[in-house]
Amino acid sequence: MACDSLRDRLEITGGQGDVLLRAPSSTVLCDALAAVDLGPARAKGRLRIDVDPLRV
């Protein structure tokens, strides 16, 4: 699972559905996301990334 690969770089809350990723900066977030293969999530139509969401 992509979230497992991100745990060492980001704070992750949530579970099987919606997951919130927190990073100290947008650079750290982008670097962490770029380092993970998100293809399987995209193939299932389950990937949506909202940077700096209004509702958290």
Contacts of 35 (CB under 8 A, 6+ apart): 5, 9
Residue 2 confidence (pLDDT) above 70: no
pLDDT in tens, 7-55: 888 998 886 777 888 899 889 999 998 998 888 877 877 777 777 766 6
Q: Would you say the pTM of this structure is higher than 0.85?
A: no
State residue 1's pLDDT score: 61
Tokens coding 30: 């982008």
